[in-house]
Amino acid sequence: MIAGGGAAGMAAAVGAALNGHETILYEKNEKLGKKLYITGKGRCNVTNACDTEELFDHIVTNGKFLYSAFYGFSNFDMMTFLEENGCPLKTERGNRVFPVSDKASDVIAALERKLRTLGVTICLGEPVKELSLTEGRCDGVVLSKAETKVSADAVIVACGGLSYPATGSTGDGYAFARQAGHKVTELSPALVPFECAEEDVRSLQGLSLKNIEARVYDGDRILWKEFGEMLFTHFGVSGPVALSASSFAARILKTRTLAMDIDWKPALSLEKLDERFLRDFEHAKNKQLKNALSDLYPSRLIPVMIKRSGIDPEKRVNEITGAERSRLVHLTKSFRVTLTGLRGYQEAIITQGGVSVKEINPSTMESKKTPGLYFAGEVLDLDGVTGGFNLQIAWSTGMLAGQSV
Ligand SMILES: Cc1cc2nc3c(=O)[nH]c(=O)nc-3n(C[C@H](O)[C@H](O)[C@H](O)COP(=O)(O)OP(=O)(O)OC[C@H]3O[C@@H](n4cnc5c(N)ncnc54)[C@H](O)[C@@H]3O)c2cc1C
């Protein structure tokens, strides 16, 4: 029996049914995989086609726990599964795998077809209320409607986390885990935008830049850095680089602020950038500074950079001193933003934290405390970066749990 018909729950049901078990899947929504529909902006980045060994490099929390799961049902096994079940795939930049049709619905349809072929009983609009625990064993669940108990030899909890609660992921799985005496580690939204302190950052709202480098600092210690795309919003920073950074910053931000330095010109060293300024200034020596920077920065950024440099925007370029130019060069390489917090679960791609993996057998996904109880997917204290890795966690742990019952 499986609670939750998302990615992990469907994989678990396939795994259990393939092993000949009579399988029932309870999903509280009126359809399966409601979150899957919105993954990858509706295209569903199902997995990543990197070497299976490299999957571990993209797991942020408890990668080692996933050894049996990833090798038991790998990224390539998932790709084969989808292709054999009528969902052809393609691989894009960064080894990201999508359905050829660019439709997440085709991934769900393939899974659903397989579930039906295998004879899995799918109960929609059927929330699980709690686990049934008898003499230290999990022997079924209690359904919310009519408070009926349904017995089972094994129960797989695949209720997801807390992010995008409108999709059905409202944290029920954590309550079930606690009911069975499991520890749930500290929870936090992750792969989520940052809120920032500076007014001038908010004035950049709507600006999106592709080739920047961001470095996140905890005091003097560099926590994380990445090259890529960043988006400025009315509250702070978002876009791929910021989202990835959030996974490494989430826990620390609960106690203190962090600093992010944005390098607008990562391809140029300080010296090369200074030469570039000199060249541009030579061509525009009679212009005012505010009119001389359009080759270096997008127009929205120019007033912000000049203000931070403290130079009079009306000043003619040929009057700019070496020290002033140096200030601009350094600002361009290190534009500091204070990260004050994260946006909430409503905007978070995943939940960081979850059922402590110390109490789960990594070879089976079974609880070490309560026989008959299994966990799979985001409800566990596992998370990865973007690129298809979070869904692969769900597919692999789901399949392993299903095959282990
Ligand atoms: C906007 C967005 C885009 C994303 N894009 C990607 C992407 O492209 N690639 C990627 O790898 N990851 C992506 N993710 C992350 C990925 O969707 C999740 O990691 C994954 O869905 C987790 O699968 P899961 O089955 O564990 O949980 P979920 O998908 O959350 O499924 C849990 C299911 O359990 C059901 N449920 C909950 N409580 C109960 C209950 N009491 N009784 C019965 N049913 C219950 C829920 O309704 C839900 O259907 C994205 C996430 C979001 C929010």
| pLDDT attached to residue 365 | 98
| pLDDT attached to residue 87 | 98
Residue 119: Cβ-neighbour burial (10 angstroms; 0-12, 13-18, 19+): exposed
Looking at residues 201-229, what average pLDDT do you find? 95
Q: Whose CA is nearest to atom 52 of ligand 1?
A: 349
CA distances from 294 to 38, 303, 317 (A): 38, 11, 13
* Domain endpoint, select from 300, 323, 343: 343
| 216 and 280 housed in the same domain | yes
Structure-token match 């270096």, residue found: 296
Q: What is the residue-averaged pLDDT of the chain?
A: 97
Which residue out of 2, 34, 390 has the highest number of ligand 1 atoms within 8 Å of its CB and is therefore the one to mutate?
Answer: 390
User: Which atom number of ligand 1 is nearest to the Cα of residue 29?
Assistant: 47
Q: Is the pLDDT of residue 162 over 90?
A: yes
97, part of any domain: yes
6 Cβ closer than 6 Å to some ligand 1 atom: yes
CA 186–ligand 1 middle distance (angstroms): 19
> Cα 165–350–397 angle (5° rounding)?
105
Integer Cα distance of 135 and 9 in angstroms: 26
349 Cβ closer than 6 Å to some ligand 1 atom: yes
Integer Cα distance of 140 and 9 in angstroms: 16
391 Cβ closer than 6 Å to some ligand 1 atom: yes
| pLDDT attached to residue 110 | 98
Tokens of 46: 């199902």
Looking at residues 269-288, what average pLDDT do you find? 95
CA 263–ligand 1 middle distance (angstroms): 34
| pLDDT attached to residue 146 | 83
| 276 and 257 housed in the same domain | yes
Integer Cα distance of 40 and 103 in angstroms: 10
396 Cβ closer than 6 Å to some ligand 1 atom: no
| 105 and 207 housed in the same domain | no
Q: Whose CA is nearest to atom 8 of ligand 1?
A: 40
| pLDDT attached to residue 305 | 97
348, part of any domain: no
182 Cβ closer than 6 Å to some ligand 1 atom: no
Domain harbouring 366, CATH code: 3.50.50.60
4 Cβ closer than 6 Å to some ligand 1 atom: yes
Which residue out of 31, 142, 159 has the highest number of ligand 1 atoms within 8 Å of its CB and is therefore the one to mutate?
Answer: 159
Contact status, residue 157 vs residue 3, Cβ threshold 8 Å: yes
354 Cβ closer than 6 Å to some ligand 1 atom: no
| 229 and 138 housed in the same domain | no
Looking at residues 46-54, what average pLDDT do you find? 98
| pLDDT attached to residue 147 | 87
Domain harbouring 218, CATH code: 1.10.8.50
Contact status, residue 46 vs residue 89, Cβ threshold 8 Å: yes
| 230 and 312 housed in the same domain | yes
User: Which atom number of ligand 1 is nearest to the Cα of residue 8?
Assistant: 25
Share of the chain above pLDDT 90, in %: 99
User: Which atom number of ligand 1 is nearest to the Cα of residue 40?
Assistant: 8
CA 36–ligand 1 middle distance (angstroms): 6
Share of the chain above pLDDT 70, in %: 100
What's the domain count of the chain? 2
Contact status, residue 308 vs residue 333, Cβ threshold 8 Å: no
Per-residue pLDDT reduced to its tens digit, 352-386: 999 999 999 999 999 999 999 999 999 999 999 99
Q: Is the pLDDT of residue 391 over 90?
A: yes
Q: Is the pLDDT of residue 285 over 90?
A: no
Looking at residues 52-58, what average pLDDT do you find? 98
* Domain endpoint, select from 292, 322, 343: 343
Provide the residue range defining the domain that includes 358. 2-186+353-404
User: Which atom number of ligand 1 is nearest to the Cα of residue 376?
Assistant: 26
Per-residue pLDDT reduced to its tens digit, 71-119: 999 999 999 999 999 999 999 999 999 999 999 999 999 999 999 999 9
Integer Cα distance of 206 and 298 in angstroms: 12
262 Cβ closer than 6 Å to some ligand 1 atom: no
The model's pTM is 0.95
Per-residue pLDDT reduced to its tens digit, 304-332: 999 999 999 999 999 999 999 999 999 99
User: Which atom number of ligand 1 is nearest to the Cα of residue 160?
Assistant: 27
| 155 and 42 housed in the same domain | yes
DSSP at 35: T
302, part of any domain: yes
Q: Is the pLDDT of residue 265 over 90?
A: yes
